Amino acid sequence: MTIMDSLRVKVAKWPYSVISVLAAVCAFGTYTSMYAFRKGFAAGTFTGEQYFHVDYKVWLVIAQVIGYTLSKFYGIKFIAELKPGQRAKSIFVLIGAAWAALLLFAVIPAPYNIICLFLNGFPLGMIWGLVFSYLEGRKSTEFMAAVLSISLIFASGFVKTIARSMRDIFHVSEYTMPFITGALFVIPLIFFVFCLELMPPPTEEDVKLRTKRTPMDAAERQLFLRRFLPGIILTLVIYVLLTIMRDIRDNFEVEIWASLGNKDNTIYAKIDTIISVIVLVAMSLLILVRKNLKAFRIIHFMIIGGCVLIAAGTILFELKLIGPMEWMTTAGLGLYLGYVPYNAIFFERMIASFHYRSNVGFLIYVSDSMGYLGSVTILLVKELGRPSISWATFFKEGVLVVGIVGGACAIFSLIYFMQTARKHNISEEPQGELNIQSV
C-alpha cells in the first residue's frame, strides 16, 4: 500500500460531512488556481493594437477559445474514458503546459505570440472534467459541485482584480502579467490537488442513491446520445447560448464596464462575489432533495428562472428603469443561474433519475464542445460583421436573445424529460442501477 493509499484509508474514517466539505473546498481551490493560468491576459486591454483591422485582444481571445473548443471535443473521449488514478498527474501536466505557453507569450513579440494563447487554451479545457470526476456520483455532489461551480463566477473577477492590480501598482507589462499571475497560484494548486487525491471513492450508499459512475467507450457514448437525443438537443441549444454570452462577459467585462462609464478595478470581484453567494445557496439547497426526478425538475425551474431574470433585467435597463450596476448584476446572475447547473448538477441528477451507468464528464464535454464552438463563431461574426458595435451593446443584444430563446428551450426540455420519465415509469425514489434497454 502506498503512502497516498494509507492516507486515503484514514480519511475514509472521517465523518462523511467533513470529507464533503474538504473535497468541495479543494475542488474550488483547484479550479480557481487554474483560472489564474487562463484569464490573466483578459485583465489587459492592449489599447491601440490591431492586426488586419481586428483588435489584438480579440485575436488573443479567439486563439484561446479555439484551443479551448478543440480541447472540449478531445475531452469527450479523454474524460469519458478517464481512470481515477490518472487524474492528479493529468491536472499537473496540462496546467504546466498552459503555464509554459504563457511564458512564451511574454517573450515572443506580437502578433506572433497570438498562437501562444491557443497553446494555453487547449490543455486547460480538460481541467473541469478532471476536477468534477472527484465529486460526481455521491449523495453530497450538489453541495460539492455548487462550491466548485462558484469558482466559475468568483475566480474570473478575482484573477482579473489581481492581474490589474499588478499592472497598475507594480507596473507589470500586460504581456508578462498572465505568466506572473499563474506563478502566484502554483503552490496553492499543488496543495489543493493533493487534498483531492485523499478523497475516498463513493460509498455503497452513494452508488445506491446516485448510480455507479463508470468510464464509457465509444459504443456506450453513442447509445446514450441516441437514448436521450431530443432532450440533449434542447439542452445543447440552451447551453450554447449561455456559453456564448457568459464567455463574452468573462473575456470583455473590462470593455463592457468601460462603455458603461465605470472604471473601478474592484467592480468585477464585488459583483461576482454577490452572484457567487446567491448561486451557491440556490444549488446547495438541492442536497436536501433526495428524490432525483424532483431535483431534476427543480434544476429546470432554476434555469428557466435565470433566463427570465436575464430578459427582464435587460428590458428594464433598456427602458432606463434600472442603472448599469443593477443590470450587470441581474444579467450576470441570470446567466450563471442557467449556466452553472449544466456544469455541475443537471447531468448529475439526469443520470441518477434515469439510473444510467455512465459519467457526468462525458455529457459536460459534449455540451462544452458545442458551447465553445458557438462562442468562437460569434466572436468571429462580431469582429468581421459588426466591428464597430461596442461590447456593451453586443452583450445587451445577446443576453436578450438568451433570455427569450433559452427560456423557451428550457421549458420544452422540462416537458420532454418529464414525459420520458412517465413513459418509462421512472420512479422518484433512487433505485440503484438499471439496464438502459429496460428503460
Instruction: Please give the full DSSP string across 27-78, using - where no structure is assigned.
Output: HHHHHHHHHHHHSGGGG---TT-EETTEEHHHHHHHHHHHHHHHHHHHHHHH
What gap in Å lies between CA 395 and CA 245, rounded to an integer?
7
The 3-state DSSP class for residue 272 equals: helix
Please count the CA atoms within 13 angstroms of the CA of 47 that sit on its side-chain side.
4
Q: Are 44 and 166 in contact (CB under 8 A)?
A: no
Q: Residue 201 region, left (φ>0) first, then alpha (ψ -120 to 50), else beta?
A: beta
Residue 68 C-alpha cell reads as 479551448
Q: Are 4 and 193 in contact (CB under 8 A)?
A: no
Cα–Cα distances (Å) from 2 to 6, 88, 137, 370, in that order, read 6, 15, 25, 40
pLDDT for 4: 81
Quick one: 404 exposed, middle or buried, by C-beta within 10 A (0-12, 13-18, 19+)? middle
User: Which one-letter DSSP state was computed for residue 406?
Assistant: I
Q: Which of 190, 201, 183, 156 is nearest to 30 (CA)?
A: 190
What is the structure's pLDDT at 429? Answer: 56
Using alpha carbons, select from 124, 272, 110, 223 the residue that is nearest to residue 175: 110
One-letter identity of residue 33: S
Burial (Cβ within 10 Å: 0-12, 13-18, ≥19) of residue 157? buried
Letter for the amino acid at 282? A
CB 221 within 8 A of CB 156: no
Neighbours of 386 (CB within 10 A): 11
CA dist 382 and 61 (Å) reads 13
* Residue 436 confidence (pLDDT): 42
Query: Which domains, from first to last, does the chain contain?
Result: 3-438 (1.20.1250.20)
- Low-confidence spans in the chain with pLDDT less than 50: 431-439
**How is residue 123 written as a grid cell?**
490543455
- Cβ 198 vs Cβ 11: under 8 Å: yes
- Report pLDDT for 375: 86
Cis peptide before 200 (omega within 30 of 0): no
Nearest to 276 by CA among 161, 129, 149: 149
Count Cα neighbours of 408 within 13 Å in the Cβ-side half-sphere.
7
**What is the structure's pLDDT at 85?**
86
